[in-house]
Amino acid sequence: MKKSDLFKIGVLLMATTLGTTGCSFGEDEKKPEIVVDPAEKTIEYYIAGKVTEGTTALSGVEVKAGEVTATTDAEGAYKLTVDSKKVYTVTFSKEGYMSIDNATATIKQESSGKRSEGRCGRRSGGNR
């Protein structure tokens, strides 16, 4: 045999050996990755309403549900963004008015046309 034939056979054997050992199965295979859907964690629920004194909108009322707080605007409107379905105790307070601390809001489903109404009384004689 010629040297060039031996060289070709050697290169062919080396390429075959590297080709078969480079592709192995078993422990080196990656396990499937579990991907969490970020949209699942961004579900928001709202507690919204309007605070009035009689028929007049009441601005500057602090509305609180859990750790979430909002203040009513010039039209008396407020909107609290919460992250879970449950019963919330909602409090309403404004300087010079009696505080309300026993209102509740229940988040039961993704979309609800249900509206609730609360009343806030004026504080008299410095008592709450």
Per the structure, the complete domain to which residue 76 belongs is given by 42-106
What is the token pair recorded at 30? Answer: 């990656």
Considering the entire predicted model, what is its pTM?
0.57
Does 32 reside within a domain? no
Whether 117 maps to a domain, the answer reads: no
Segment 102-109 shows an average pLDDT of: 85
Q: Is the pLDDT of residue 49 over 90?
A: yes
Domain membership flag for residue 89: yes
Structure-model confidence comparison of residues 11 and 56, the more confident one: 56
Residue 69, domain member (yes or no): yes
Q: Is the pLDDT of residue 97 over 80?
A: yes
Q: Order of strands across the sheet with 100-106?
A: 68-71, 62-65, 87-93, 100-106
15 domain residue, yes or no: no
| Contacting residues for 87 by C-beta, under 8 A, at least 6 apart | 104, 105, 106, 107
How many domains are contained in the chain? 1
Check residues 43 and 83 and name the one with the higher pLDDT. 83
Distance CA 100, CA 128 (A): 10
Q: What is the mean pLDDT of the chain?
A: 79
CATH number at residue 101: 2.60.40
